[in-house]
Structure 1
């Protein structure tokens, strides 16, 4: 791809968007375009269309979304559904209307049914019931995927949907009410260490299996998809490896240097029992993740201590 093309990264201040910006900039892309939510409300259709008309992006990467963990999804189901639908519909339709031919949509592994066979293949989409705690977000993302699929089928546009596994890394959300499990654990163990290694209470039983990928690996996958022609709409992006949540807790405890007790609150929901992606489709095209989990968490903890 021409490195002078004007590439709009929607959500460029978020964890995924900022990692993509860093990756593309490091790869020599010189014409990157971003707007904060204060500068451009992606829920406002008129404002989005005006932006596309004035700026004329040639490539669009949609990394903007309302995201959160189990608590946030449970507490604000309407916002997780409607706000994400508004963002996606406006950006996807503007990209179509203004002639964008290369578009990358970021989804999530939570789009797949709660009890999908493991590892989860792309074709398992819509084959069963969703996990209830995040179904609102999942439904919005599924609608975005289907919109891209329809544009690809009807107008032969190169619209690609990437479904990353659980992400972590620099720029993550460490708010204990709205964050995902890995950053929440990092903060809890870090703060408990500062309180004379006080006990750390974690949600659920610790038994679910989860896959985690450093956000820089996602950025690498986005760059790969920008620079290659892929013939299908949807591709999983992950490491192909998972571990139990209680194993993750022990790993993070050791990395942070906490030596107190770990307590599990089984009255809180576990979520989906297991969520491991089948990553063979994109691997067969020539891309795979490269950052080991322990090393990635160490990097993220260093960033957290320095930045948060």
Structure 2
């Protein structure tokens, strides 16, 4: 990408898209375009095609998606598969029809089989059954990956797919019913501290292990890959280390300054037992994450404190 190349960031208000937008501006890219969902409904093929005809972006970061945690995935499976299939199908096809030079599709490590060997290597895709709680979302994302691969093979496009691990950071979703584990726990511990609650209840047993990547690190990796990587193989983006959910709770508790107890509701689901990605390919290409988990949680909590009046309804 040249610094004056026209770059479209789809989903610029979300956790991933906003981080990519910040990173592009930080690195000196001056011609970035974006639209809110009210201005451009990516589920509407006609609107999407017209946007591409009018704006003619040269590069596309496809970070727009309907996302959520265990509760949301369980309650709205139809929305997760329908919206995501429409969004990615419309954007990928419009990119091809309007001669976009390169597109990056952002997936998720939840695409891997529930019981795949750890750490998760890129070649494990489609080698086993998915985690049932997020199967509709994962199938939509796998379809996006295969769509990029298929357009590359048939039309000679240069579309790449990156699979980020669990993310957190500014513009995360802190809703207790639809968010992922990190922002939900940041809010829970903060509110427990404010109300002097004797304990915070966490879902499951606390034993599942998860990997967490700060969103600005992800954005840096995305810009790096857009500039350096071509190929049909997906690329994992992560830190290569994981911790238990219990350990995560303890770290957030410490950062927030909450002094009560942690209790576990074992009647609630744990989800996938472990989800650590193998980042050998990404590291070999020349990129490595540099934000520690403690530093990332501190930044995320600081952002939450600064924005809680507008993000908590």
Contact 2:56–2:100, Cα closer than 8 Å, also in 1: no
Contact 1:5–1:31, Cα closer than 8 Å, also in 2: yes
Find the counterpart in structure 2 of residue 192 from structure 1.
Answer: 192
How far apart are the structure 2 equivalents of 1:307 and 1:241?
29
Q: Deviations over 1:191-244 (max 9, x none)?
A: 001111431111110000000000001100111012113334310000000000
Contact 1:73–1:133, Cα closer than 8 Å, also in 2: yes
1:153 deviation in Å? 1.8
SS of the residue aligned with 1:264? Answer: strand
Find the counterpart in structure 2 of residue 166 from structure 1.
Answer: 166
Q: Deviations over 1:221-277 (max 9, x none)?
A: 111012113334310000000000000001111111111111101110000000000
Q: Which runs of 5+ in 1 are unaligned?
A: none
Count of aligned positions: 308
* 1:202-241 map, 5 Å: 202-241=202-241
How far apart are the structure 1 equivalents of 2:39 and 2:264?
42
Q: Which runs of 5+ in 2 are unaligned?
A: 309-313
How far apart are the structure 2 equivalents of 1:89 and 1:258?
45
SS of the residue aligned with 2:185? Answer: helix
How far apart are the structure 2 equivalents of 1:155 and 1:54?
22
Contact 1:159–1:233, Cα closer than 8 Å, also in 2: no
Find the counterpart in structure 2 of residue 176 from structure 1.
Answer: 176
How far apart are the structure 2 equivalents of 1:70 and 1:49?
33
TM-score by length of 1: 0.99
How far apart are the structure 2 equivalents of 1:67 and 1:198?
32
How far apart are the structure 1 equivalents of 2:238 and 2:208?
17
How far apart are the structure 1 equivalents of 2:226 and 2:77?
33
Within the alignment, does 1:154 sit opposite 2:159 as a pair? no
Find the counterpart in structure 2 of residue 19 from structure 1.
Answer: 19
Contact 2:192–2:258, Cα closer than 8 Å, also in 1: yes
Contact 1:10–1:34, Cα closer than 8 Å, also in 2: yes
How far apart are the structure 1 equivalents of 2:198 and 2:159?
49
Find the counterpart in structure 1 of residue 305 from structure 2.
Answer: 305
How far apart are the structure 2 equivalents of 1:192 and 1:28?
41
How far apart are the structure 1 equivalents of 2:267 and 2:306?
34
- CA RMSD after TM alignment: 0.8
Contact 1:164–1:238, Cα closer than 8 Å, also in 2: yes
Find the counterpart in structure 1 of residue 38 from structure 2.
Answer: 38
Q: Deviations over 1:118-147 (max 9, x none)?
A: 000001000000000000100000000000
SS of the residue aligned with 1:227? Answer: helix
SS of the residue aligned with 2:296? Answer: helix
TM-score by length of 2: 0.97
Runs of 4+ in 1 over 6 A off after TM superposition: none
Find the counterpart in structure 1 of residue 86 from structure 2.
Answer: 86
Find the counterpart in structure 1 of residue 260 from structure 2.
Answer: 260
Contact 1:208–1:273, Cα closer than 8 Å, also in 2: yes
Within the alignment, does 1:47 sit opposite 2:47 as a pair? yes
SS of the residue aligned with 2:130? Answer: coil
Contact 1:6–1:58, Cα closer than 8 Å, also in 2: yes
Q: Relative to 1, partners in 2 of residues 1:33 and 1:306: Cα closer, same or farther, differing over 3 Å?
A: same
How far apart are the structure 1 equivalents of 2:229 and 2:204?
42
How far apart are the structure 1 equivalents of 2:239 and 2:88?
26
Find the counterpart in structure 2 of residue 273 from structure 1.
Answer: 273
1:20 deviation in Å? 0.3
